[in-house]
Structure 1
């Protein structure tokens, strides 16, 4: 049997035998399972295609498995508190976790805690990175969704408190889920809330593009890859498909099933907690508190497969199968380090031996200049520095330059003599009588 191109990774809160399971997207057969504890919602994620991570339900640690080793016991990453949401950047360089109302951001290759963000007023419920890893978005029980620029967050200046790039504040009740589309910083973001609305935002400007009102609370949301449709999981078990290409689309609308693409998927008997669309946009996976994961054919709106679980489903997503998932003898290219629970700047132990710390920001000498300097004075000082660098590059510095000039002049004279000798020899050959 050939390895599948896409798989469904799921977890539930009731199983005693395994934490999460990998299913074949097309056959529904169970391929791998990972033992140890239970995963809380919005925390199951892949890291670099080599590790599977999830936060332990109600505990202050993250479970970690090597993706290809199904019989292993999980490793643990201890966190400062109970993890409410967890996500990794698509490039595999950063890991972000919500602990109560605080966001912790780690650098994966070193395990260093780069930043602690405290801008939410209540628990963080969900987080997502953009596909280019340049931004991430966090949603919380304080009704806010915050857009963070990764570049500003990882500045290692202890005196600088990062601010979100945008504050999306149009929801009136806690945010339950969010999804970020493609196109990096130009992406569109969908947020769902207990206020029975789903809102679509423009990431670059933070502007609201669309608000859809439903008759029930919305617990999960996702786009299809082409962003033709918006899929919203309701607390009543229904899944609502909203067309984003309708000519009659207005900023605020109420959902109504019609022939323009707004449809309802019926089959779950309890709230839909997670949604995911296949890479080609033909299948929709949904997890529910009715202890099932359903696979839907989007075109026909029919449930083509039902995967039974032992408890309420907490996570379910479709992903491309990592290259080494079905190679038992493979190993991660780089093992994960120990993750810190404290900012290094506050520990007082300095940097570890051999580490290089690059600080993004102003040089210390510049920051210590007197605040009363005028713009013209700063410009003159900058011009002086540039001229000094240019003079040194072009004209050199002292005796070394004089020696070099003498060497070059001698080389020029040698080349002139060689050229004259070649000319004389050629003239003799041409004028020699036959």
Structure 2
């Protein structure tokens, strides 16, 4: 059988059979299982197509597997506190974790902790990168979603205190999920909340484009690849499809099923914790506290497959299959370093390499941050200086 183009990555809170599993998207066949511990919600991510990372539920470390070596943990990244959410930048250069009310940002190549951002007032619940890795968005129990420019955060000037580019403050209860669409800095961002609304924002300006009110709290949200529809997982087990191509020009709407694309997927018996759409926009994946994941045909709204888990589903996402996942003799190009727990590792006896050379044409700002002309952070390889 040829390697699949897309796979399902799922995890539950029980972790009895495995920590996370890889399933074939169309058949539901279990292809791989990664063992050891269990992963908390919004904390399962693939790093650079070579590693799977999952924050241990209720603990202060992140489990790491090489993507081909599924039977044993290769590493544990010890963190300063319990990790409530985790994500890796799409370019594989940075790892971001929510620990209590602070955001921790690491450089993957060196393991250096580059920034601790403390602008939330309560615990973090979710983190998302833009598809070009230029921005990330954080959501918390303080009802706020913050938009951060990565180039601003990683500035090396010690007198510089990073500030969010935008503060999205229109929710009245905790943020439960965030989805960032395509087009980099021009993307649209969806935020879901317990206040029974989903709001759509423009990343570049921070302007709210749309607010949709539901009858229940919304636990998860995603967009289809063409961004014609929002899919919103409810606390009652329903999944709401919201058309973004409606003729109505109102920014504030109340959800109602109709013939213009606003529909409900019914089948889950408990809150829907995660939703994800296939690359061609035909299939919807959902995970629920009813201990199942379901695959839906979007056009017919029918559940085409249900797969049981041993506990409430914490993570379920459709991703392109990493190239090396099904090559047993393949190994990561670069091993992961030891990740620092301190902003200044040299003062804590952890050791640090300094200096660097840039391997791409770029401009070196006075702050020491290498950027492309467009402003995106480029790749630098760390080497010791003498």
> Shared topology, TM-score over 0.5?
yes
Q: Compare the two structures and name the one with the higher helix fraction.
A: 1
Asked if 1:326 is matched to 2:339, the reply is no
* 1:88 CA displacement: 0.5
Residues 356 and 349 (structure 1), Cα distance of their counterparts in 2 relative to 1, 3 Å cut: farther
Equivalence for 2:114: 114
Equivalence for 2:166: 166
* SS of corresponding position for 1:40: strand
Equivalence for 1:188: 188
Give me the whole-angstrom Cα distance separating, in 1, the residues matched to 2:13 and 2:348.
40
* 1:352 CA displacement: 3.4
Give me the whole-angstrom Cα distance separating, in 2, the residues matched to 1:288 and 1:328.
32
Give me the whole-angstrom Cα distance separating, in 2, the residues matched to 1:91 and 1:350.
26
Select the structure of larger CA radius of gyration.
Answer: 1
* 1:302 CA displacement: 0.4
Q: How does 1:19-168 map to 2 (within 5 A)?
A: 19-168=19-168
TM-score normalised according to structure 2 size? 0.91
Higher normalized contact order (CA 8 Å, seq sep 6+, divided by chain length) = 2
Residues 133 and 348 (structure 1), Cα distance of their counterparts in 2 relative to 1, 3 Å cut: same
Equivalence for 1:223: 223
Residues 8 and 343 (structure 1), Cα distance of their counterparts in 2 relative to 1, 3 Å cut: same
Q: Is 2:345–2:352's contact at 8 Å kept on the other side of the alignment?
A: no
Equivalence for 1:336: 336
Residues 87 and 350 (structure 1), Cα distance of their counterparts in 2 relative to 1, 3 Å cut: closer
* 1:357 CA displacement: 8.8
Q: Deviations over 1:304-326 (max 9, x none)?
A: 01111000000000001011101
Equivalence for 1:392: none
Gaps of 5+ in 2: 359-363, 369-386
* 1:293 CA displacement: 0.3
Number of corresponding residues: 363
Give me the whole-angstrom Cα distance separating, in 1, the residues matched to 2:330 and 2:249.
50
Q: How does 1:292-331 map to 2 (within 5 A)?
A: 292-331=292-331
* SS of corresponding position for 2:151: helix
Q: Is 2:7–2:321's contact at 8 Å kept on the other side of the alignment?
A: yes
Give me the whole-angstrom Cα distance separating, in 1, the residues matched to 2:202 and 2:73.
42
| Aligned structure 1 segments of 4 or more residues deviating by more than 6 angstroms | 348-351
Give me the whole-angstrom Cα distance separating, in 1, the residues matched to 2:179 and 2:234.
15
Moved more, 2-11 or 341-350: 341-350
TM-score normalised according to structure 1 size? 0.81
* 1:14 CA displacement: 1.2
Give me the whole-angstrom Cα distance separating, in 1, the residues matched to 2:19 and 2:281.
28
Gaps of 5+ in 1: 364-434
Give me the whole-angstrom Cα distance separating, in 2, the residues matched to 1:322 and 1:161.
36
Q: Is 2:197–2:211's contact at 8 Å kept on the other side of the alignment?
A: yes
Q: How does 1:276-287 map to 2 (within 5 A)?
A: 276-287=276-287
Q: Is 1:15–1:309's contact at 8 Å kept on the other side of the alignment?
A: no
Residues 246 and 346 (structure 1), Cα distance of their counterparts in 2 relative to 1, 3 Å cut: farther
Give me the whole-angstrom Cα distance separating, in 2, the residues matched to 1:147 and 1:269.
34
Residues 353 and 67 (structure 1), Cα distance of their counterparts in 2 relative to 1, 3 Å cut: closer
* 1:361 CA displacement: 3.5
The CA RMSD measured in Å over matched residues stands at 1.6
* SS of corresponding position for 1:347: helix
Equivalence for 2:5: 5
Q: Is 1:53–1:62's contact at 8 Å kept on the other side of the alignment?
A: yes
* SS of corresponding position for 1:276: strand
* 1:159 CA displacement: 1.8
Give me the whole-angstrom Cα distance separating, in 1, the residues matched to 2:162 and 2:365.
13
* SS of corresponding position for 1:42: strand
Equivalence for 1:416: none
* 1:78 CA displacement: 0.3
Q: Is 1:98–1:124's contact at 8 Å kept on the other side of the alignment?
A: yes
Q: How does 1:356-367 map to 2 (within 5 A)?
A: 356=356, 360-361=365-366
Q: Deviations over 1:340-393 (max 9, x none)?
A: 000027827697356439985469xxxxxxxxxxxxxxxxxxxxxxxxxxxxxx
Equivalence for 1:395: none
